[in-house]
Amino acid sequence: MNVPDVRGIAAAYGVRIEVGDLGAWGGTTLVAEYDPRGPVIRINERALPRASSCEVRDAIDRAIAHELYHHREAIGEIPSLGDRAARERAADAFAAHVTRDA
């Protein structure tokens, strides 16, 4: 199966990828965030699985793909949905499609 290189896609858009500790979020786990001012996608190392390097890589790629959806919204490549929950569902669906995890 030929799965797109989401890190290469991010680089082509000029989006940096950072992995670090994004802190505690109460009862919620923040997996990643998109900052249009970078633009940068930050992956929360706290949310990464304690597993094989392949599983960690897959989790990072899925998070990058999700946040790339938000980047595409920010640059006007795709329309931004008015409802936040709908945007997150759309970003999850995009990530599943791009990483062939659906």
Count Cα atoms within 13 angstroms, Cβ side, for 23: 3
Q: What is the pLDDT of residue 102?
A: 42
pLDDT in tens, 1-24: 456 799 999 999 999 999 999 888
d(CA 8, CA 28): 29
Domain ranges (residues) in the chain: 6-98
What residues have CB less than 8 Å from 16, skipping those under 6 apart?
10, 38, 39, 40, 41
Q: How many CB atoms lie within 10 A of CB 100?
A: 10
pLDDT in tens, 74-96: 999 999 999 999 999 999 999 99
Phi-psi region of 14 (alpha: psi -120 to 50; beta: other; left: phi over 0): left
Question: With respect to CATH, is domain 6-98 assigned 1.10.10?
Answer: yes
